[in-house]
Amino acid sequence: MCQKEVLVKDDGIHYRKSCASSGACLIASSGYQQFCTGKLNSVCIACCNTPLCNGPRQKKRPQSAAAAAAVTPPVFSLSVVVLLSSALR
């Protein structure tokens, strides 16, 4: 599975892209949802499983201040984590 981390630091937005097992990625992404605010020192982790889905980031588009501050946590990962955890019981 592909994993992408987005870190908001005082010197800009940093991206870290890697591979992880599906379980590890989904657990990490659900664990960081509380830190995914889009503000300074924010950390967001998203998982995907199609080829190069964590590939090059898209070119920046002009955004309003409200849209730039809003970061939606990956709902897919939370749903899968809930399903995985209930399946493992």
pLDDT greater than 80 at residue 16: yes
Report whether 75 contacts 26 (CB < 8 A).
no
Contact partners, residue 68, CB within 8 Å, separation at least 6: 38
pLDDT at position 5, please?
A: 92
**12-16, 53-57, 76-80 — which is least confidently predicted?**
76-80
pLDDT at position 63, please?
A: 54
Phi then psi dihedrals of residue 25, to 5 deg: -65, -45
Four-CA torsion 5, 14, 53, 78, nearest 10 degrees: 30
**Max avg pLDDT among 5-19, 43-57, 70-84:** 5-19
For 38-58, the pLDDT digits (tens) are 899 999 999 999 887 877 656
pLDDT at position 85, please?
A: 44
Average pLDDT over residues 55-70: 55
* Integer Cα distance of 18 and 84 in angstroms: 21
Token pair recorded at residue 27: 């657990």
Residue 38 has, within 13 A of its CA and on its CB side, a CA count of: 9
Whole-structure pTM value:
0.58
Report whether 32 contacts 45 (CB < 8 A).
yes
